[in-house]
Amino acid sequence: MSIKLENVHYIYSPDTAFRKQALKDINLEIMDGQFIGLIGHTGSGKSTLIQHLNGLMRATSGTIYYQGENIYADKYDMKALRAQVGLVFQYPEHQLFEVTVLKDVCFGPANLGLSAEECEQRAKEALKLVGLKEKYWQKSPFELSGGQKRRTAIAGVLAMHPKYLILDEPTAGLDPKGRTDILDQIASLHELGGLTVILVSHSMEDVAKYADRLIVMDHGRIRFDDTPKHVFRHYKTLEEMGLAAPQVTYIAARLREKGWDIPEDITTVDEAKNAILKAVSSLKGGQ
């Protein structure tokens, strides 16, 4: 099962002086169960791409298949697609509007035509999944902290029971603790709940830590699509695209240049720690 894009192009304002081709010949298959990081410089086409995945934007040309079915076919059920491919926009808390947190999270399922009881049950379950404590459920979303608002908005999408969860910079503007908490929750939804995740991020550290596949966009095209470790080996090319590797990758490279016995493909702090400790203990052993 997958979402598959074939030769997808997208052009904003095609017949005007503002014509802008934002997607150029995108070929991509997102398999169920993956955790995908999507990176690229500002304006590289990430937001445009993710809005194609649930049919919110329609390709200028090319085809998208959801579970093998062409989503542009006549009578294709776009509403069902949008429920299954959940999209959390940047700063999703701007879209909170109900009087209580619980009602806000109920909004999506209610739109699917579910009974009030079922909506509430799903909303409660989703709020638990994102780790928002029960004492907040009857509060106004506007009384919550930034991180809590973000969780509420994510719960609103989860309450639709999507198979795919696409998040556009879910941690933007949050403090370090809030960032880690939210990403850890998402990772556990992926691991325990089998949710396929697509995470748009500007943090190389985050995608290195959480993603098993990394897609790099550059001027509307996919430049790399591989494991994070393989992609970050090309850090010089990434730099030319206005990106970089995680900082520990550079530290590890410098240590290696200085003769330390450290592997080439370090991308997370934990890996760096283990490799450095190992190198230090072998130095000591050799004394």
CA distance 38 to 217: 7
Distance of closest approach, residue 43 Cβ to ligand ADP, in angstroms: 4
Distance of closest approach, residue 114 Cβ to ligand ADP, in angstroms: 32
Instruction: Out of 8, 26, 28, 44, point to the residue binding ligand ADP (CB under 6 A).
Output: 44
Instruction: Out of 13, 68, 286, 287, point to the residue binding ligand ADP (CB under 6 A).
Output: 13
Asked if 185 and 197 count as a contact pair (C-beta separation under 8 A), the reply is no
Q: Which CB sits closer to ligand ADP, 45 or 170?
A: 45
Instruction: Out of 5, 8, 35, 45, point to the residue binding ligand ADP (CB under 6 A).
Output: 45
Considering only the stretches 12-20, 135-143, 176-184, 274-282, report the one whose residues sit in contact with ligand ADP under the rule CB under 6 A: 12-20
Instruction: Out of 5, 47, 157, 262, point to the residue binding ligand ADP (CB under 6 A).
Output: 47
Q: How many CA atoms lie within 13 A of 39 on its CB side?
A: 28
Distance of closest approach, residue 171 Cβ to ligand ADP, in angstroms: 16
| Cα of 4 vs its chain's centroid, Å | 17
Number of residues that bind ligand ADP (CB under 6 A): 12
Distance of closest approach, residue 18 Cβ to ligand ADP, in angstroms: 6
Instruction: Out of 20, 128, 230, 254, point to the residue binding ligand ADP (CB under 6 A).
Output: 20
Residues of this chain, 167-226, that bind ligand ADP according to CB under 6 A: none
Binding site for ligand ADP (CB under 6 A): 12-13, 20, 22, 40, 42-48
